[in-house]
Amino acid sequence: MTLNTALEGKTYPPVRVTLDEERVRAFARAVGHRGPGAPPTILTVPEIEAGLRNVVSDPELGVDLAGVLHGEQTYEWSRPVAAGETLTAEASIESIRGRGGLQFLTLRTDVRDERGEAVALARSTLLIRDQE
């Protein structure tokens, strides 16, 4: 199946996520984070809740999780995040590009704090292989 490129620009509803301290500790242990502050990629938590989870369950897209690979990932941090913070994440489909049985979907997620100030920008590029 071919993803509908008309879905470029589609924005998912913003999601509020509180970075529960125990969850941040568990995340830090899992990735071997010994440094100061919270693990930088703890932003994956709001990113999944706001966007990545929608992409694989959006009937308009019709993505089969079994055919999805993570191709590229970028984080741009405006400031570090701390355990206990509440963040708002809003995801949108930035681009859909095709190449034969392989398509590239780039999802952009903007993460803000409770004052509405930018915390980080996340970009995920998924490789979606044809399952038929």
Which residues bind to another protein, rule: CB under 8 A? Answer: 23-24, 26-41, 44-45, 48-49, 52-53, 65-66, 69-77, 79-80
Q: Which is nearer to another protein, 4 or 99 (CB)?
A: 99
Count Cβ atoms within 10 A of the Cβ of residue 128 and give its class: 0-12 exposed, 13-18 middle, 19 or more buried: buried
Q: Which is nearer to another protein, 4 or 64 (CB)?
A: 64
Q: Which is nearer to another protein, 7 or 127 (CB)?
A: 127
3-class DSSP string for 31-75? CCCCCCCCCHHHHHHHHHHHHHHHHCCCCCCCCCHHHEEEEEEEE
CB of residue 112 to another protein, shortest distance in Å: 17
CB of residue 23 to another protein, shortest distance in Å: 5
The two tokens of residue 22 are 């125990």
Q: Which is nearer to another protein, 40 or 98 (CB)?
A: 40
The amino acid at 71: G
